[in-house]
Amino acid sequence: MGLIVQKFGGTSVGSVEKIRNAASRTAEELKNGNNVVVVVSAMGKTTDHLVDMANDITKSPSKREMDMLLTTGEQITIALYSLALAQIGIEAVSFTGWQAGIKTEAIHGNARIIDIDTDRISNELESGKVVIVAGFQGVTDDGEITTLGRGGSDTTAVALAAALKADKCDIYTDVTGVFTTDPRFVKSARKLLSVSYDEMLELANLGAGVLHPRAVEFAKNYGLPLEVRSSMEKERGTIIEEENEMEQNLIVRGVAFEDQITRVSVLGVSTSLKGLSTIFTTLAQNHINVDIIVQSRTEAGTANISFSIKSNDLPETLDVLERNKESLNYQSVESETGLAKVSIVGSGMVSNPGVAAKMFEVLEGNGIQVKMVSTSEIKVSTVVNEKQMVHAVESLHEAFELYSGAVKAN
Amino acid sequence: MGLIVQKFGGTSVGSVEKIRNAASRTAEELKNGNNVVVVVSAMGKTTDHLVDMANDITKSPSKREMDMLLTTGEQITIALYSLALAQIGIEAVSFTGWQAGIKTEAIHGNARIIDIDTDRISNELESGKVVIVAGFQGVTDDGEITTLGRGGSDTTAVALAAALKADKCDIYTDVTGVFTTDPRFVKSARKLLSVSYDEMLELANLGAGVLHPRAVEFAKNYGLPLEVRSSMEKERGTIIEEENEMEQNLIVRGVAFEDQITRVSVLGVSTSLKGLSTIFTTLAQNHINVDIIVQSRTEAGTANISFSIKSNDLPETLDVLERNKESLNYQSVESETGLAKVSIVGSGMVSNPGVAAKMFEVLEGNGIQVKMVSTSEIKVSTVVNEKQMVHAVESLHEAFELYSGAVKAN
């Protein structure tokens, strides 16, 4: 008899009908002889509706009161979920974040879990009940209600699974698993049976944020197996775990991509050490996320620094650079919009130095110019023209034999 | 510098616009130099919407999970109210029932407050903040979320005012005060400037439940002055307090009434002591509220017992009597529907024995037959034909000179 944590996201509990369906997945797990803890998000549009009301009142709502407001969303779902289980004869009890003992740091809007006091949940599990916990929320030592920020319910589920020493954490969502690339763009995309934690982290932007990176990191730290699976389709999903036997021979596991990327180049930067770090410190202080960074020296002894950002951060980025021109000590700024990032991900890559070369070869052979490159042990990212993004993804998906029915070898 | 507790009901916070308006009433009280604690209900239709979703799932929801579900309603309001205050430059902090230290007995759906730990609220008041508390809800020693049942937010406000030793508790609602009778039926109805706690208890069914009897009793026990006033109109409301100087000469304070009353008569009841009490014990066990009771003896040595109930309880009442015919030991049951209760209320009545007689005289003079009578120290109730109810109310309202401009004397 094991313990399974099931997490259902907002679309999987978006209506009374869907809550009933999710409850039937809990019933199945009980029939398998397991104890079950369920973590749920707010129902579909509930959060949007609450945010709209707050915005009607003020343009700058306090984070504390937004936490107070938004945590009602999951509280509604846990109560309805518990009623749905009772209706099919399953004893259940619902807990808010504070009732479930989820202690966080004293930060509103984006708190981290610091401890989970599992006594209350364990007692209810021992008495044979299903325990339903409100995701995304916790409480500080002072009794303040907090939220965990984006992907918070995933984090709640994984943290609870770790604290309760669960055998597995199942993330139910509106896709059937993690794919080699986004099936909405590439028809031959194939569902992966398993990926490693690190690969999942790199693939996190596939499939419309199917699993939050923070939750993956947490699971990795505790060696907790995750499964991403569909709340509607009864088929096996994708297992995320350290050991990755079934597909371990695959060098490249998937192709990730992201559009609306802009390259910004800061030219003629003084190469004093301080000058270089100051650019990125300044951008970070202004909450601009920088992704790929490339640096080159000029003959004049200065440096040209290029980096990629999301296109909608461009006006703010240019403004920050302009306002700090003196302290940053550069000559000029250039930018290029209409770009996209295309990456290949796979933990086998680290021992195969030819992978990046093959990637460039494939892109060049398809007439796709590579404008920036960044590599890590399990990923090679390139920046290309946005109009060529899907073509690049398809070419790489095929060249690395990720399509359905491809021979698993290399 | 005093402390005022303000309570706003569901219609007074039924939209973002109305929350803004209510917040302006809090601002006024601050300008008067007072500290303010605000107690709010769920926004207008929120509770209905939540109940509908629960009913879609199950016909017999557990009370615990309904408490979990419904308490989100007030939590939404407190957050929005706090944002509305911040928007007009007022520092505020919102608390759920458990955060406000409102401890209740371990009963779901209808818990009573057993203690209020006011430390957290007091600390925030001392730091100059307005404290906004979710009405209707509390927490047990075991950390279970409870609700206080009907009129719960009134009770929260009065209990908090008592615990915090507030100077006054203002109940903001959609009427401008307590009236001599329902102004929707009798045009000459007049707003009372003050009534005593006991009178208010008897008048509680006037003005569509303007103030819950439980809250009035609580206020009476602590000698806490209440004011019922409009959240929209800026005029003085009705003060409820023990001393009642301004209108103390009035014998009759108001005329209360209620339609859809049924008389049930149980005929030929054995007059053994046990037999008599058993009827009402049995009805109470079946949650049937009995109001007026009249008993008479027959020549045969048995008794005829008549009582009034709400008409929609009739089928259940007849069923209970039928099922227990043997143990109750009676001969037959009669019932008459289409009746109404009309009462005159006033604490001056106790020292004026002629008041009841005058009431009957007025009704008879207007061709209205009195079918049942019940008296208390401050009230005389009669049961009349439902079709004559408004006529009876108008006649009494005029005869006891309750109309606007009447001379206050007797």
The rounded distance, in Å, linking the Cα atoms of B373 and B362 is 14
Instruction: State which fold the A254-399 domain adopts.
Output: VC0802-like (3.30.2130)
Give the C-alpha separation, A31 to A2, whole Å.
12
Instruction: Pull the structure tokens for residue A375.
Output: 């590599």
Query: What whole-number distance in Å separates Cα of residue B345 and Cα of residue A21?
Result: 56
The two structure tokens encoding residue A244: 């990755």
Question: Residue B378's closest CA among B195, B238, B212?
Answer: B195
Average pLDDT, chain B: 89
Is-contact A131 A125, C-beta < 8 A? yes
In three-state form (DSSP H/G/I as H, E/B as E, the rest C), the secondary structure along chain B is CCEEEEEECCCCCCCHHHHHHHHHHHHHHHHCCCEEEEEECCCCCHHHHHHHHHHHHCCCCCHHHHHHHHHHHHHHHHHHHHHHHHHCCCCEEEECCCCCCEEECCCCCCCCEEEECCHHHHHHHHCCCEEEEECCEEECCCCCEEECCCCHHHHHHHHHHHHCCCCEEEEEECCCCCECCCCCCCCCCCECCEECHHHHHHCCCCCCCCCCHHHHHHHHHHCCCEEEEECCCCCCCEEECCCCCCCCCCCCCEEEEEEEEEEEEEEEECCCHHHHHHHHHHHHHCCCCCCCEEEEECCCCCEEEEEEEEHHHHHHHHHHHHHCHHHHCCCEEEEEEEEEEEEEECHHHHHCCHHHHHHHHHHHHCCCCCCEEEEECCEEEEEEEHHHHHHHHHHHHHHCCCCCCCCCCC
With a CB cutoff of 8 Å and minimum separation 6, the contacts of B53 are: A16, A76, A80, B69
- What mean pLDDT is predicted for residues B393-409? 76
Contact A83 B62 (CB under 8 A): yes
| Cα–Cα–Cα angle for B320, B324, B326, rounded to 5 degrees | 155
Q: Does domain A3-173 have CATH number 3.40.1160.10?
A: yes
Residues of B engaging A, defined by a Cβ cutoff of 8 Å: 16, 19-20, 50, 53-54, 56-58, 61-62, 64-66, 68-69, 71-72, 75-76, 78-80, 82-84, 86-87, 93-94, 96, 98-99, 120, 143, 145
What's the pLDDT score for residue B408? Answer: 43
Q: What percent of chain A has pLDDT over 90?
A: 63
- CA-angle at B251, arms to B247 and B257, nearest 5°: 105
Q: How many CB pairs under 8 A join A and B?
A: 104
Per-residue pLDDT, averaged over A371-382, amounts to 86
Amino acid at A126: E
Any idea which of A330-344, B146-160, B319-333, B347-361 has the lowest mean pLDDT?
B347-361
Which residue among B66, B68, B79 places its CB closest to the CB of A65?
B79
3-state secondary structure of A38: strand
Are the beta carbons of B57 and A87 closer than 8 angstroms?
Answer: yes
Residues of chain A with C-beta less than 8 angstroms from the C-beta of B72 = 72, 75-76, 79
Number of neighbouring beta carbons within 10 Å of residue B59: 8
Question: CA-CA distance, A262 to A112, in Å (whole number)?
Answer: 31
Assessment of whether the complete model's pTM goes beyond 0.90: no
3-state secondary structure of A238: strand
With CB atoms and an 8 Å threshold, state whether A65 touches B94: yes
Calculated CA dihedral for residues B72, B77, B80, B81, nearest 10 degrees? -150
Q: What is the pLDDT of residues B45-80, one digit of tens each?
A: 899 999 999 999 999 999 999 999 999 999 999 999
The pLDDT tens digits of the residues spanning A235-293 come to 999 999 986 554 455 678 899 999 999 999 999 888 765 666 788 888 888 888 888 88
Query: Under the phi-then-psi rule, with left for phi > 0, alpha for psi from -120 to 50, and beta for the rest, what region is A78?
Result: alpha
Chosen from B46, B58, B65 to mutate, greatest number of chain A CBs within 10 A: B65
E strand map for A111-152: 113-116, 130-134, 137-139, 145-147
Give the mean model confidence (pLDDT) for residues B238-255: 74
CB contact under 8 A, B86 and A71: no
ipTM for the complex shown = 0.81
CA dist., res. B326 & res. A399, Å (int) = 89
Closest residue to B65, CB basis, from A20, A83, A143: A83
Which chain B residues are within 8 Å of A75, Cβ to Cβ? Answer: 68-69, 71-72, 75
Phi-psi region at B138: left, alpha or beta (left = phi > 0; alpha = psi -120 to 50): beta
Q: Which residues of A touch B98 (CB under 8 A)?
A: 98, 143
**Domain spans in chain A, listed from the N-terminal domain onward:** 3-173, 254-399
Instruction: Determine phi and psi for B25, rounding to 5 degrees.
Output: -70, -35
B3-173 and B254-399 share one CATH topology? no
CA–CA dist A182, A172 (Å, integer)? 18
What single letter denotes the amino acid at residue A215? A
Identify the pLDDT of residue B250: 65
| Partners of A3 in beta bridges | A35
Highest mean pLDDT of the ranges A97-111, A206-220, A392-406, B324-338: A97-111
pLDDT tier at A407, thresholds 50, 70, 90: very low
C-beta separation of B135 from B46 below 8 A: no
Q: Quickly state the pLDDT bin for A223 (edges 50, 70, 90).
A: very high
Cα separation, B251 vs A329, in Å, equals 89
Q: What number is the average pLDDT over the span A100-115?
A: 95
Helix (H) / strand (E) containing A228: strand A226-230
Report the pLDDT value the prediction gives residue B212, as an integer from 0 to 100.
83
Bridge partners (DSSP) of residue A172 are A8, A229
- Taking the CA atoms of B212, B217, B220 and B222 in sequence, report the sign of the dihedral they define: negative
Write down the pLDDT at residue A243. 63
Q: What would the mean pLDDT of A116-127 be, rounded to a whole number?
A: 97
B14: nearest CA partner in chain A: A53
Residue A83 is nearest to which of B61, B71, B96, comparing CB atoms? B61
